[in-house]
Amino acid sequence: MICPPVAWEGRVSTVVNTINLASPSRRSSTRRAADVGSAPRPRADTKASTRDSLAGSAPRPRGRLALGSLGVALAIFFLISYVSTTMANPLAWAREWPDTDFSKKIIDFGEILSGGPPKDGIPSIDNPQFIPIGKVTDLADTEPVVGIVINGDARAYPLRILIWHEIVNDTVGGVPVTVTFCPLCNSSIVFDRRLDGRMLDFGTTGKLRNSDLVMYDRQTESWWQQFLGQAIVGELTGKILTMLPSRLESFANFRKRAPQGKVLVPNNPGMRNYGANPYVSYDSASFPFLYQGDMPEGIDPMARVVAVEGEAWSLSLLREKSRITKGDLVITWNSGQNSALDTRAITEGRDVGNVVVQRQQGGAMVDVIHDVTFAFVFNAFNQGAPINTQ
């Protein structure tokens, strides 16, 4: 293991801050012009709660490396990458993963890195608890949530909780779902967890590929790429989960479109500081953490993009235009959502706004599956696909 559990929380933020301070282009400002423009950060209407928890002894997220200079930061980064790569083989993993069939894979094992925590070190939420939206008192209007509506059942999953757990196994509107959030990719994706007549539930492997969360299903212990919803190692290799429409939106926007909805709350309050972001300034970094792939051309690798059906548009372009259309596809932006990966307090994060992606269908506008992620992530999993910047 690269670093002990007590050192995980917030370790990314020291790398980020060190790199930003050492970079001449970042000394005057660590704000990302591509995402921010000149818009002010949204103000919270309510104070963030202090310490909430869903898993009493939950280890802390992937995190920062305590450093004193850019050179040390880079040295430790490459040391982590080297050690993780040399350990990337079934012999090293067999003790922790005795039920995973490593003879089946569609990727190079060397692409998989340790994120720090062990198997289930970042625990999924398997018995989620909700309260009616009218009883929520500790969420600011501008806080980000993953909102989904299935068969009239509307639920919001605040990033203040997902950032610590990354996976929620739930049933919404009678459909078994897995709600996921990868902080290092800013990627929130919802899956139907039914596959070939059986129902799967998911946990975290503690591994990353292209800096993206590698999940596993508890039925076969196959490993799954979160960004693709595809099994990449194990019995189910090559299988693909069905993605479901969802929105990464402000709590106020979710409440407006689903006033009778429910909101995920902690099972064991007081054990985790859910209002805090353990990845301080990560989305202002010059480059991604624990990533060895190619960088995109013509755009900052850490700039947010809206990925839809194999194509992407930069968030800065969408913000400038407010509305982008392509055929029957309509992508819109409006202000009022905090970044969960900026300041320590999520409610103080800069305004990255709300994205809605829809298309005309049967005389009505319906939500389209999409993801608001970083440019390097889209490029890593969609080599050669366009990222529209103008």
Residue-wise pLDDT for 357-386, tens only, equals: 999 888 899 999 999 999 999 999 999 899
| Dist. CA 157–CA 307, nearest whole Å | 21
Average pLDDT, the chain: 84
Burial of 259 (0-12, 13-18, 19+ CB in 10 A): exposed
CA atoms within 13 A on the CB side of 117: 27
Higher pLDDT, residue 5 or 350: 350
**Residue with more model confidence, 91 or 240:** 240
pLDDT (0 to 100) of residue 270: 77
Q: Average pLDDT of 320-337? A: 97
Is the entire prediction scored with pTM above 0.95?
no
C-alpha to C-alpha distance for 205 and 180, rounded to whole angstroms: 13
In whole angstroms, give the CA distance from residue 127 to residue 123.
Answer: 12
Dist CA 10 CA 278 (whole Å): 4
**Structure confidence at residue 67 (pLDDT):** 37
Closest CA to 352 of 37, 140, 141: 37
Q: Is the pLDDT of residue 33 over 90?
A: no
Cα–Cα distances (Å) from 61 to 83, 227, 238, 258, 287, in that order, read 20, 19, 28, 31, 19
Question: What local confidence, expressed as pLDDT, does residue 98 receive?
Answer: 96
Indicate whether 53 pLDDT > 80: no
What pLDDT does residue 66 have? 36
SS3 304: strand
DSSP per-residue string spanning 184-244: TTTEEEEEE-EETTEE--EEEEEEEETTEEEEEETTT--EEETTTTEEEESTTTT-BPEEE
- pLDDT of 128 reads 97
Half-sphere CA count of 167, side-chain side, radius 13 A: 30
**pLDDT value at residue 52:** 39
Instruction: State the pLDDT at residue 269.
Output: 77
Task: Give the model's confidence band at 272: pLDDT under 50 very low, under 70 low, under 90 confident, else very high.
Answer: confident
pLDDT at 61: 56
pLDDT tens figures, 215-233: 999 999 999 999 999 999 9
Q: Is residue 20 within 8 Å of residue 30, measured between CB atoms?
A: yes
Helices 70-86 and 11-22: crossing angle in degrees, nearest 10, is: 130
Plot region of 325 (φ>0 → left; ψ -120 to 50 → alpha; else → beta): beta
- pLDDT score at 80: 52
Report how far residue 100's alpha carbon sits from residue 217's, in angstroms, rounded to the nearest whole number: 10
Name residues whose C-beta falls within 8 Å of residue 66's C-beta, 6 or more positions apart in sequence.
Answer: 7, 11, 14
Report which residue type is found at 145: V
Max mean pLDDT among 91-95, 267-271, 347-351 falls in: 347-351
**Could you tell me the pLDDT band of residue 200, with boundaries at 50, 70 and 90?**
very high
Quickly tell me which residue has 């194990």 as its tokens: 234
At residue 216, φ and ψ (nearest 5 deg) are -140, 150
DSSP tag of 345: B
187: exposed, middle or buried (Cβ count in 10 Å: 0-12, 13-18, 19+): buried
Q: Which one has a higher pLDDT value, 264 or 73? A: 264
Name residue 29's beta-bridge partners: none
Separation CA 226–CA 381 (nearest Å): 11
Place of tokens 């933020």: 13
Q: How large is the average pLDDT for residues 338-347?
A: 98
Q: Specify the amino acid at residue 176.
A: P
Among residues 306, 370, 289, the alpha carbon closest in space to that of 61 is found at: 289
In angstroms, rounded to a whole number, what is the distance separating the alpha carbons of residues 361 and 368? 11
Between 83 and 49, residue with greater pLDDT: 83
Q: What is the pLDDT of residue 375?
A: 98
Question: Which residue do the tokens 């479901």 mark?
Answer: 244
Average pLDDT rounded to a whole number, residues 74-92: 58
As a whole number of angstroms, the distance between CA 353 and CA 94 comes to 44
Give the pLDDT score at 296: 96
- For 308, phi then psi, to 5°, come to -140, 115
Of the pLDDT bands very low, low, confident and very high (cuts 50, 70, 90), residue 77 is: low
The pLDDT of residue 153 is 98
pLDDT mean over 188-195: 98
